[in-house]
Amino acid sequence: MKRRSFLAVALAAGLVATAGPAIADKTNPAKLRIALLPDENASTIIQNAQPLKAYLEKTLKKEIDLIVTTDYSSMIEAMRFGRIEVAYFGPFSYVLAKSKATEIEPFAVGVEKGKPYYNSILIANAAGPVKSIEDIKGKPFAFGDQASTSSHLAPRTLLAKKGLIGDVDYKVVHLGKHDAVARAVAAGQVPAGALSESIFRVLVQDGRLDASKIKEIALSAPIPNYPMTLQGYLAPSLKDAIKKAFLELDDPVILKLFRVDRLAPATDKDYDVLRDMATTLKLDIAKL
């Protein structure tokens, strides 16, 4: 009896070792899993992000695991279930993630040419039938991922404000990646589409897209730039260290990965404009 009593007390006090490894402390993990935006080829993103990995490992004194999920939805789910600690979201995918995982916190936003925002660009095949927004009526129009801001939400809102409703006035086509939209339009596979203006400019600049095959037809209203986010349950000291590491980034090679000149502090309220866009399109964010 006394032995059973002792064992019961010891187990309750944690004095008896349990089988298997101890449960890791998720508030201060030895390895930080950082998800980067799945807007281009994953292997290219990972390769380009090696300087970021080296910088963070040196600065935070932790192993860094860079992750590129298959799409925005899987990135949101990974954040929701704690499979990543830090994530670089698109603005709307952040809003969707926040609606499902209220603990996540935006802490930094990219600033480019002095502006913490960017635009979506609507493009058309130069030799195709679309010369203006009005010409989109009755034709296919290519978007990227459904959770993309600049390749779906913002341009779709712009079209709606022009009286063009998706799958009513034009056929909605989703191609997943920004570069896939640009290539499909340039090749004439779809007459028009939309993507991030900054990604479009980089594709042209790098020679991956022939600008002579594209006609620029419109820019969206300003969109708050992509937020860097972290899990709210992380230890305060670790959160402070992560924020400091990103906000003090001044290496142009690393900043080029984010297509920005620097990172500035960000808050959830900065992204209310995306919630307003969803209202315009009558989207129920909680159900997306």
Instruction: Read off the pLDDT of residues 107-146 as tens digits, 9 standing for 90 and up.
Output: 999 998 899 999 999 999 999 999 999 999 999 999 999 8
Six-digit token string for 228: 């860097």
Task: Please name the residues in contact with 44: beta carbons below 8 A apart, sequence gap of 6 or more.
Answer: none
pTM as predicted: 0.75
**Where are the alpha helices (H) located in the chain, listed in sequence order?**
2-13, 42-48, 50-60, 72-80, 91-100, 154-161, 178-186, 197-205, 236-247, 252-257, 272-280
CATH number belonging to domain 31-112+225-287: 3.40.190.10
pLDDT in tens, 203-251: 999 999 999 999 999 999 899 999 999 999 999 999 999 999 999 999 9
Write down the mean pLDDT value for the chain: 90
Domain with CATH 3.40.190.10 in the chain: 31-112+225-287, 120-221
DSSP result, 123-149: EEETTSS-SSGGGGTTSEEEE--TT-I
Q: What would the pLDDT profile of 26-56 be if each residue is shown by its tens digit? A: 999 999 999 998 877 889 999 999 999 999 9
120-221 belongs to which homologous superfamily? Periplasmic binding protein-like II (3.40.190.10)
- At residue 82, φ and ψ (nearest 5 deg) are 70, 25
